[in-house]
Structure 1
Amino acid sequence: QFRFTQACLASLQEHQGAERFEVIVVDDSSTDATAEVVPRMPGVVYLRNETNSGFITSCNRGAEAARGKYLVFLNNDALVRPGWLTALLDSFAEEPRAGIVGSKLLYPDGRLQEAGGIIWQDATGWNYGKFDDPEKPEYNYLREVDYCSAAALMIPRSLFASVGCFDSRYAPAYYEDTDLAFKVRKAGYRVLYQPLSEVIHYEGATGGTDLSTGAKKHQEINRSTFAEKWAAELMTKPAHGDLAPLQLAPPDRKNILVIDHHVPMPDKDSGSLRMFQILKILRQLGHRITFVPDNLAYEPPYTCELQKRGIEVVYHPYVKKVRDYLLAHGASFDVVVLSRCDFARKHIADVRLHAPQSRIIFDTVDLHYLREDSEARLTRDPEMRRKAQEKQQLEHELIDQADETWVVSPVEQELLREKWPRKSVQLVSNIVDLPGSKTPFALRRDYLFIGGFQHRPNTDAILFFVQKIYPLVSEHLGDAKFYIVGGHPPPEIVALATERIIVAGLQKDVRPFFDSVRLSIAPLRFGAGVKGKINQSMAFGVPVVATSLAVEGMELRDREDVLVADDPENFARALIELYKSEELWNRLSENGIEKTRVLYSADAASQKLEFLFSNEHLKSAVRPAGLEKTEIALAERN
């Protein structure tokens, strides 16, 4: 079987990423060219058994010789694909208590071989999705599974040793990987399937497929051994062939469906970052999450970023219409979150019809009509005023129809609670990571604005700043550069570029900017909600100069957390003062990080989302049976 070993090693070399690893080949007393060729391969540790000892003994011997933090067991009849190892390793970084992470196994003809293993109550097993299309959404998100095949799995070396390695009672092979998974789970760790790690496996190439001969005959013998050892655990497993439990949320957790305009792109806009964080936190809280983009588009790398974290993403061509998905699966959801008013309006009737048992949450992201109304007041445009009124009517109708409404600022929450005192109006604000400040004041220079230019308030803010404020600033800070960071800058923004005004466009990694600039500006003249640009800057410890509208609803104190100024002269004066005063800079930087931690961190959001999806909260707001839609709005409890 040397040709399989050779091909496996070649694939490891071809698809080697940034990870450093050692390759250990355990030769189980082969009679082919292995013993002659493999020892001469550079970078390979070669171990040979004097007698044929079987899969378990060979794997345990290889593990004992390994030096790395993690072990990867990989059959020699396997070919790895690009990114396979990174995906396994990342799972341990992302998932607390991960104990085993297994790859998606594919047949050479492209069909799915295994998307995680299932163990039935009678101790027989099944490869989930066997022979199906491997690109289907249901096989392409991180999931907890009963076991992963040892054809391709990763486990921390210390954990492997602490649970007793592969159990020799299953020698020479079969059920050792299943037993290992059960031992790891009993030790308090999780067994996960990671579909972003893909491995082609020539199933049976070395062990055969005939259950009556060779090592394969031990499969049935070892099933009995396994069933006896794990009898108590097997009583909790479903009957043979029952796949329904796979669609259930864990105990005391919820099946949650989220519908938004497209897959969140957190490096492009504040709304996407917030949605990405919400989805990630809900998954970390143990809920089963399904995300349906209204456009049903599969959009790498963003779709994969959700899938690798355990969020199922539905996409075309496997679903043709959102309505079709609701018709087929709506009855399984406890909660449906509809994000943004235009898309909530599009789907709310179908959700009520096909998921009548679910609690509908309308996530405003921000109250769109407030943003459009503030623009209408600034521009005195009657057409914009008319659009704002139409948007207000739409959003109010959705609040009436939904069981709960989410807003991002206390100002919006108070506004809606005054109008709907008996409705559940909840504050779920922006959520940012807290990288903090790593560069002292003296080593910083320049300043920036960050924001996507598909958002009209950002274009207006930059034009206002450059035309009215920048000339006043440049008189005093002539050497300072102004960076404009954000995707899709329109021609009028691109035209602003000079030697000291740098239109940087979309940046996948904004950390270098925030680690080097002295301050950030938010000269917004209209808008609504909480401004992600301010959250993001403060999280990096970069103080902000902002208009009063930009900080509305953020509970920030002038000259303690932020500098607030509205007219050009005062804004320029504040910017110059902050740029030059180390004492003021340090105070705002430290206070900004702390305020962000308290109000906008993942920890703060996790506590709020834990409450909002708790049985206590959901039961307190259950719709009384038999009410018509028009009555539901009056029956809600806050």
Structure 2
Amino acid sequence: MALSSLLTWRVKRLYYLMQRVAGSVVQRGVQGTAARIAQEFRQRTAQLPVLALEPLEESHAPFALPTHDAPRVSVIIPVHGKLSYTLACLRSIARHGANAPFEVIVVDDASPDATASVLSEIAGLLLLRNASNLGFIGSCNAGAAAARGSHLLFLNNDTQVTDGWLDRLLDCFEEESNCGLAGSRLIYPDGRLQEAGGIVFSNADGWNYGRFESPEDPKFLYRRDTDYVSGASLMIEAELFQRLNGFDARYSPAYYEDTDLAFGVRATGKRVIYQPESVVVHFEGISSGTDLRAGVKQYQLINKTKFAEKWKDALARQPAAGSSIESAIHHDGRPHILIVDALTPDASRDSGSLRMINIMRLLRELGWRVTFVADNYTASDREIVQLGRIGVHALCKPWSPSLARWLAKERDSLQAVLLSRHYVAAPNLGLVRRVAPRAKVIFDTVDLHFLRELRAARHTGNRAMLRRAQLSRRRELALIRACDVTLVVSPVEQALLSKEAPEANVELVSNVHEEFGRRTEFAARRDLVFVGGFAHPPNVDAVQWLVDEIYPLIHGLRPEIGLHLIGDIPAAARPNLTKPGIQIHGKVEDLAPWMDGCRIAVAPLRYGAGVKGKVNMAMSYGLPVVATDIASEGMQLRDGENILLADDAATFASAVLRLYDDELLWRRLSDNGLDNIREHFSFSAARAALRRALPETDTV
């Protein structure tokens, strides 16, 4: 292309972009316009997803939509012409479906094309026809009046849905306290992000957060409260929608009605939540164009004035126009905590991960904004989604700056920093104190490493290991004294620190478990299960002892009793563990089949520290446990009441065989084990401890 032609194309493109930005709902003056233009000229990156879209063809190949006698969700799609987009939208719904029962209602707003005749042939579709043009608001309200579902999902006809689009929005109402409105992550057809929730400034201007950026950036992949979500895809309970009298007719025919609805929801005390796992492709501008001076689009400026008048008092509490986007997106005043751990937690990997995930869930429940970073600054896509599902922002390569740069940027927003494990806390404590001096520093030991090392040294008689343990003790105690609060998981360790470091502020935050309950009874169960990965040395020793000395005594008398080994067991270690009756499953995504199907969990640990998640996990399912004394330490357990204890191979095997055939004993241990979880390892117990450990804030 000649230079002159290239410049002409650039100028035309620039002019087009300026028109597009000027006509957008997200104006913020010259600074915002410049940012938008810069974003448009960015190269499309390799991280952007390849979207499989339905073709925009008006040819009507027969297809049907799912139907249900009792739909839980009513999907309401207002249309005015643009038949090809409507058909593609409906085909995407038919293709992806949903787990929840739903119905689809299309409101034909006096379309000038063949919309009514073509859509009337689609099986499973409820088609409503307005006698005259009512506009977007009137059509949405008409669809809501005909809806049967307990939840309404308003969807533009210039959208296409993806897997999980509907079910993930429903998750917000089931998993987030006081959710009133939930909205999707909107993607452009070329894969760029269109909206990750919206910000409203004090002058009533709006901003679509993340516009033109990569939808794979973790800062857009976690659930959070937001000022509003786009009406292109939003869900609300039908009862609340009716209580708010639907979309306000003062904004007819369209524009600002979704922002107004969000403010109305918030005025009732309920929350507006952005849900990144609900992904919807939106062909923005197809329905109403982009020219502020013509058609329906001209009502954007008119309705902004109406919105400003109606919500004058609420807008006074919104961020000022010109505020930075990153500060504005978190203007709700929630206290902010950074958590640094060795690895990004994965609940299927180890009990420490499960504890950390549940602590972060509790922090969010207590009103905190949570940011997490692994010491290696990495996180898999799966781990990012796991954290995003509980409302946690994961910092990781290549998206985030270095920890030092991030701390310097966020220093004024941080009320607390939690450093997990001594080998993570030691190199990061000085940085945190220097860059974010006002943040309260919490040291989460996970377990006292020096205590575990001392016990391992005594167990093996290794003098070099004993010297390393003594060095670890000095370093770990120094960290405990240097931090504002220290968390331990066991009352034994809390008592130990009261002697070793009496000046330290030590709180007990043990393992945190849901109570799954006993879902299978004694007679329907069989076999034994051990859970524990080889990344933890005590597990390596325990499995070898179990396989070499304990299980052969059981198998010799009762060969029908199998043993299941679950955990990250490397291939090189498996040949030594492969013996008759033993099944090695390795790492599994879900422990429930073994927790519900096995008759006994075994925990033959001979050294270690802290509280053993494998014991807690089994008891949370009502699965009785045979364990050593060290495996039961710090858990308020009593032999014969809620656990069976044994410290040598013969006694351990005998206890397993006794319990395997004694249904009354089995049931007593099951019931009392569940009681132990409720009393000592529940969310309520951890919540109270976290409240004591965290700094006082206005929102907690």
**TM-score range, shorter-chain basis?**
over 0.9
- The AA in structure 2 aligned to 1:295 is N
Instruction: Quote the Cα distance in structure 2 between the aligned partners of 1:476 and 1:183.
Output: 69
Secondary structure in 2 matching 1:84: coil
Partner of 1:625: none
Q: Deviations over 1:408-433 (max 9, x none)?
A: 11111111121221211111111111
Partner of 2:651: 570
Equivalent residues, number: 618
Is the 2:226–2:329 contact (alpha carbons within 8 Å) kept by the matching residues of 1? no
1:556 counterpart (619, 634, 637): 637
Q: Which deviates more from structure 2 when the two are superposed, residues 67-76 or residues 133-142?
A: 133-142
2:202 counterpart of 1:115 = no
1:451 counterpart (508, 517, 532): 532
Q: Deviations over 1:171-206 (max 9, x none)?
A: 111111111112212222111111222222222211
Instruction: Quote the Cα distance in structure 1 between the aligned partners of 2:120 and 2:241.
Output: 27
- The AA in structure 2 aligned to 1:431 is V
Is the 1:463–1:493 contact (alpha carbons within 8 Å) kept by the matching residues of 2? no
2:317 counterpart of 1:246 = no
Correspondences of 1:481-500 after superposition (within 5 Å): 481-500=562-581
2:124 counterpart of 1:43 = yes
2:179 counterpart of 1:78 = no
| C-alpha RMSD of matched pairs (Å) | 2.1
Partner of 1:61: 142
Deviation, structure 1 residue 559: 1.0
Partner of 1:442: 523
Distance 1:188-1:332 versus aligned 2 partners, 3 A rule: closer
Partner of 1:177: 258
Instruction: Quote the Cα distance in structure 1 between the aligned partners of 2:403 and 2:268.
Output: 41
- The AA in structure 2 aligned to 1:442 is A
Is the 2:367–2:699 contact (alpha carbons within 8 Å) kept by the matching residues of 1? no
Secondary structure in 2 matching 1:22: strand
1:411 counterpart (478, 492, 503): 492
Deviation, structure 1 residue 160: 1.5
Q: Deviations over 1:284-338 (max 9, x none)?
A: 1111111112222231222111112211111111225322322332332110001
Partner of 1:539: 620
Partner of 1:631: none
Correspondences of 1:137-152 after superposition (within 5 Å): 137-152=218-233
Correspondences of 1:79-98 after superposition (within 5 Å): 79-98=160-179
Partner of 1:394: 475
Secondary structure in 2 matching 1:431: coil
Partner of 1:280: 361
1:609 counterpart (690, 697, 700): 690
TM-score (norm 2): 0.85
Instruction: Quote the Cα distance in structure 1 between the aligned partners of 2:345 and 2:406.
Output: 20
TM-score (norm 1): 0.93
Is the 2:415–2:695 contact (alpha carbons within 8 Å) kept by the matching residues of 1? no
2:454 counterpart of 1:373 = yes
> Which contiguous aligned blocks of 4+ residues in structure 1 show a shift greater than 4 angstroms?
247-251, 616-619
Distance 1:413-1:617 versus aligned 2 partners, 3 A rule: farther
- The AA in structure 2 aligned to 1:421 is P
Secondary structure in 2 matching 1:550: helix
Instruction: Quote the Cα distance in structure 1 between the aligned partners of 2:164 and 2:467.
Output: 51
Partner of 2:610: 529
Deviation, structure 1 residue 245: 4.8
Q: Deviations over 1:249-296 (max 9, x none)?
A: 755x52100011121101110110000000111011111111112222
Instruction: Quote the Cα distance in structure 2 between the aligned partners of 1:507 and 1:122.
Output: 52
Instruction: Quote the Cα distance in structure 1 between the aligned partners of 2:699 and 2:302.
Output: 49
2:248 counterpart of 1:154 = no
- The AA in structure 2 aligned to 1:539 is S
Is the 2:615–2:625 contact (alpha carbons within 8 Å) kept by the matching residues of 1? yes
Structure 2 residue runs of 5 or longer lacking an equivalent are 1-81
Deviation, structure 1 residue 614: 4.9
2:512 counterpart of 1:512 = no
Instruction: Quote the Cα distance in structure 2 between the aligned partners of 1:616 and 1:114.
Output: 31
2:410 counterpart of 1:329 = yes
2:561 counterpart of 1:480 = yes
Distance 1:241-1:129 versus aligned 2 partners, 3 A rule: farther
Secondary structure in 1 matching 2:577: coil
Partner of 1:461: 542
1:22 counterpart (103, 112, 122): 103
Is the 1:27–1:48 contact (alpha carbons within 8 Å) kept by the matching residues of 2? yes
Partner of 2:30: none
Secondary structure in 1 matching 2:412: helix
Distance 1:248-1:417 versus aligned 2 partners, 3 A rule: farther
Instruction: Quote the Cα distance in structure 2 between the aligned partners of 1:258 and 1:117.
Output: 26
Correspondences of 1:152-301 after superposition (within 5 Å): 152-243=233-324, 245-246=327-328, 250-251=332-333, 253-301=334-382
Partner of 1:357: 438
Deviation, structure 1 residue 112: 2.7
Correspondences of 1:1-20 after superposition (within 5 Å): 1-20=82-101
